[in-house]
Structure 1
Amino acid sequence: MMQEQAELLALDALTFIAEDTESFVAFLRLSGLEKETLTRHAGDPAILGSVLDFLLQDEKRLLAFCESRELNPDRPARARMCLPGAEYLQNL
């Protein structure tokens, strides 16, 4: 997967998260972002990486996203590896 594809998937994941108030508030709290900052910088690859990190932390949320988009459940994890911060994840 190329970075551009990963970014598009992460933007779609952000839309999915934002559609659920509880998930969106949880994402903002965990990321430390304010809604306005997220709105202005939603396309930033580092922020998109954090979106996928959040999605991948909860299997139920991940599976709901993948089902709603008819995606293979491993696709968000593969996308995550194309965005900033993935080098840290590989060393865990």
Structure 2
Amino acid sequence: MSYTQEAAETLALSALGWLAATDDLLPVFMGASGLTEADLRGQAADPAFLGAVLDFLMMDDAWVIRFCDDTGTAYTAPMQARAALPGGAQVHWT
């Protein structure tokens, strides 16, 4: 499935909400991003930030599986949504 930017943003917002509700991952995300809670709220509408949320989620397969299982999302959805957001295009070096 190919995502539109709007659908990708919706999935990324879902991932952000899931992260915010996941006590063991929210501090990891906050520490890795250097953001405050106010920053999170302020940047939640920024497509580039939402891409970074999906980048963070996809750092660990176990996180992707937990998110997808908890939200009823296909395991491939985060990667597909990421491709539709700024900076998500696959780079071919050859």
Could you tell me which residue of structure 2 aligns to residue 15 of structure 1? 17
Could you tell me which residue of structure 1 aligns to residue 74 of structure 2? 72
The percent of aligned pairs where both chains have the same amino acid is 40
TM-score (norm 1): 0.90
Could you tell me which residue of structure 2 aligns to residue 63 of structure 1? 65
Mark the runs of 5 or more structure 1 residues left unpaired by the alignment: none
Q: Give the helix-richer structure, 1 or 2.
A: 1
Question: Shift in Å at residue 72 of structure 1?
Answer: 1.2
Matched length:
90
Which structure has the larger Rg over C-alpha atoms? Answer: 2
Question: Shift in Å at residue 43 of structure 1?
Answer: 1.3
Q: Structure 1 segments of 4 or more deviating over 4 A?
A: none
Question: Shift in Å at residue 40 of structure 1?
Answer: 1.4
| Structure-1 separation of matches of 2:52 and 2:17 | 14
Counterpart residue type for residue 55 of structure 1: L
| Structure-2 separation of matches of 1:22 and 1:70 | 20
Question: Shift in Å at residue 32 of structure 1?
Answer: 2.2
Match of 1:54 among 33, 53, 56: 56
Deviations 1:48-87 (CA, angstroms, capped at 9, x unpaired): 0011001111111110111111111001100000111113
| Structure-1 separation of matches of 2:22 and 2:74 | 21
| Structure-1 separation of matches of 2:87 and 2:36 | 21
Question: Shift in Å at residue 21 of structure 1?
Answer: 2.4
